């Protein structure tokens, strides 16, 4: 398959890559850039484990083809806490909102986006905002508490 050139900015750093056109953004992030914090779990947009922020919006990076990300600005879990932990990360630690941790990066990214758009979400808005991110360990209760805590910390 003929490769194509794309350039994208990930966590503030510019990358010029030659990729197969059927490659997903998730594969670019994990396999090419070796940023393994973003996880693959379902590979078809059902679980949210691969959530990243692309041009200011959360996307399932498994559903974005690499060519669609040409020229895009991407933030992954590695890019949100460059000056120490992001308040969302800190709140997840404090509230025990983590168990196996495999959903955590995607969950954190969705929370960062949610609080960016809606700094004081209600409980129902939090549940709605995270409903695309599956977690099998925690039962979500502590994750919701962590989002509420992060919201307070960021005010």
Partner 1 sequence: MDLKYVGKDIPRVDAYEKVTGTTKYMSDLSFDGMLWGKVLRSIHPHALIKSIDTSKAKALPGVEAVVTWEDVPGLNGFGIAIQDQPVLCKDKVRYAGDAVAAVAAVSKEIAEEAALLIEVEYEVLPVVDDPIRAIEPDSPKVHESGNILLHTEIRKGDIDKGFDEADLIIENTYYASRQEHAFLETEDGIALIEEDGTLTVYAGSHYPHRDQLQLSRCLNMPVEKIRVVSSPVGGAFGGKDELTIQPIMALLALKTGKPVKMVMPREESIISYWKRHPMIMIYRTGVKRDGTLVANDVKVYADTGAYASLGGPILNLALESSCGLYRIPHVHIDGYSVYTNNGISGAFRGFGVPQVTFAMESQMDIIAEKLGLDPIEFRRKNILKKGEVAPIGHHITTDVESEAVLDAMEGSRLWRERERYRGTDKNRPWIKRGVGLALSWQGMGLGVGLPDFGDAVIEMDPDGGFIVRVGCVEIGQGAMTVYAQVAAEALRFPIERIRVVIGDTRNAPDAGPTTASRAAYVGGKAIFLAAEEMNEKIKGYASGMLSVSPDEIEIDDGSAYVKTAKDKRVSYEEISSYAIERGGLPVAEGHFDLPTADKAIEGAFGLPHHIYSCCGQIAAVEVNTLTGQARVTDGAVVVDAGTVINQGGLEGQSEGGFVMGTGYALTEDLIIENGVVKTPNFSTYIIPTSKDMPSSIETIPVTNYESTGPFGAKGIGEIGMVPTAPAVTNAIYDAADIRVFKIPATGERIYELLKQKKGENK
Binding characters for partner 1, 93-112, by CB under 8 A (x = yes):
xxxx-xxxxxxxx--x----
Binding of partner 1 by 143 (CB under 8 A): yes
The DSSP annotation for 24-87 comes to BHHHIIIIIS--TTS--SSSSSSS-TTEEEETTEEEEGGGSBGGGGTT-EEE-GGGS-TTS--H
Binding characters for partner 1, 55-94, by CB under 8 A (x = yes):
---------------------xxx--x---x---x--xxx
Nearest Cα to Cα of residue 54 among 46, 63, 45: 63
Q: What number of chain residues touch partner 1 (CB under 8 A)?
A: 53
Read off the tokens for 36.
């393994």
Minimum Å distance from CB 117 to partner 1? 17
Q: In what order do the strands lie in the sheet with 13-19?
A: 13-19, 4-10, 73-75, 51-54, 57-60
Binding of partner 1 by 4 (CB under 8 A): no
Minimum Å distance from CB 25 to partner 1? 16
Binding of partner 1 by 32 (CB under 8 A): no
Nearest Cα to Cα of residue 62 among 100, 104, 86, 31: 31
Binding of partner 1 by 149 (CB under 8 A): no
Stretch that binds partner 1, among 10-18, 31-39, 67-75, 113-121 (CB under 8 A): 31-39
């Amino acid at each position: 398959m003929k490769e194509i050139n794309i350039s994208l900015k990930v966590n503030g750093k510019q990358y010029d890559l030659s990729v197969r056109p059927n490659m997903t953004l998730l594969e670019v992030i994990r396999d090419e850039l070796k940023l393994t914090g973003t996880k693959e779990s379902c590979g078809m947009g059902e679980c949210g484990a691969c959530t990243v922020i692309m041009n200011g919006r959360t996307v399932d990076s498994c559903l974005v083809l690499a060519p669609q990300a040409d020229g895009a600005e991407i933030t992954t879990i590695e890019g949100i806490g460059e000056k120490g932990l992001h308040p969302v990360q800190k709140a997840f630690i404090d509230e025990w909102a983590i168990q196996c941790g495999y959903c955590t990066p995607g969950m954190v990214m969705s929370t960062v986006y949610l609080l960016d758009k809606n700094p004081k979400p209600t409980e129902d808005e939090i549940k709605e905002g995270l409903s695309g991110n599956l977690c099998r360990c925690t039962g979500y209760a502590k994750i919701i508490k962590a989002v509420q805590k992060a919201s307070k910390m960021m005010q």
